[in-house]
Amino acid sequence: MKQHIQHIKHSTIAIDVGYGNTKSAWALGSDITMNMFPSLAPLAANTALNSFGGGLFKSRNVVTVEVDGARYEVGPDVSISGAHVHTGRALSEDFAATPNYAALLGGALHYAGAREVDRLVLGLPVHNTQKYAAHLKDRFSGSHDFGWGEIHIGSVLPLPQPLGTLISYIQQSGKKYDPENAYLVIDVGYFTTDWVVAHGYTVDDTRSGGVPGGAAHVYQQVASLITADQVQPIEGIERIDKAIRESKPLVYFGKDLDVGPYLKEAMAITQQSVKEIQTRVGRPDDLRSIILTGGGAQLYAPAIRAAFPQNVIHMMDVPCFANVRGFYTIGAARQTARTA
């Protein structure tokens, strides 16, 4: 069901289509509005059964998005049940080039009420930025119709995801930010872990990078451990994700299953990505601090603290929005400079 959204012209919209969640930020008057929904884009159902309940059942907050002739369902109330093939979760290196990505982006534009956007800022994993930046510019600049009328996008600015957090951190820190020394930003996403080392506004490419390995790898390990212990396989890592985040039991064939013991054992898998960060960053004695962000930050924090015991580690407030907040700041500043 399409939610009624007021259509407005945007100077800048920032959208971070992540493997786990799709986040967006835009100006509404003098305030910055942010929105988030799961990065799930299953094929849309042909019926809306809640509409037959005589008002008793609540309609789901989802929107149907058309991409290349196919209809996808995205939004806050999209179903999280079923295997990846049913939920439309795309966990692949070419995610930015998939119809799922386009559907999620279209949904984010819908919830922002966008019909005309001067500058669209998008995020990419560090190790994929070079490969897919040109694709995103070509694919999403110009006019589009996702099923509810034409949307025009003036220009597209793809950015490595951790840079958004760096800008958000600089804004929050104010004069406490030390541009003369290095900061390490670690962004633990759903499917990738990315990091950048920056001196002021200059990124050190030789010490920055990204690898597959994020929250989903922990959830997949939990699922494997449950399957081995309980015999019956479990494929719904979205439900495992929800149970862990809400600290609630997992409903497993009618019984409440405590995922805590499985999570504790699965945490060992986080050391693989953290070891890669250590190797690329090198000696950390020159780091003013480590900035930890992303939806999987809490899961990887113990391994990161163990790997960098002498460094100050700062966990971003509401880390899932840190990148997109910074993206909006960058896009708005570029747009202001352009029109000045």
Instruction: Kindly indicate the confidence band of residue 47, based on its pLDDT and cuts at 50, 70 and 90.
Output: low
pLDDT tens-digit readout, 115-156: 999 999 999 999 889 999 999 999 999 999 999 999 999 999
Q: What share of the chain is helix, strand, coil (3-state, %, to 5)?
A: 40, 30, 30
Q: Six-digit token pair at 227?
A: 């399957």
Listed range (57-66, 159-168, 289-298, 326-335) with the worst mean pLDDT: 57-66
pLDDT value at residue 84: 43
| Amino acid at site 212 | P
pLDDT value at residue 83: 38
Q: What is the CATH number of domain 8-160+322-339?
A: 3.30.420.40
Q: Six-digit token pair at 286?
A: 């020159």
Measure the CA–CA gap between 179 and 189, rounded to whole angstroms: 26
Return the higher-pLDDT residue of 319 and 236: 319
Listed range (19-28, 38-47, 74-83, 270-279) with the worst mean pLDDT: 74-83
Tell me how crowded residue 233 is: count the other CB atoms within 10 A of its CB: 10
Strand partners, 13: 26, 120
Listed range (70-74, 156-160, 235-239, 286-290) with the worst mean pLDDT: 235-239
Measure the CA–CA gap between 105 and 111, rounded to whole angstroms: 10
Domain ranges of the chain: 8-160+322-339
The share of the chain scoring above pLDDT 90, in percent, equals 71
The rounded mean pLDDT for the chain is 89
Average pLDDT, integer, range 238-258: 92
pLDDT value at residue 144: 95
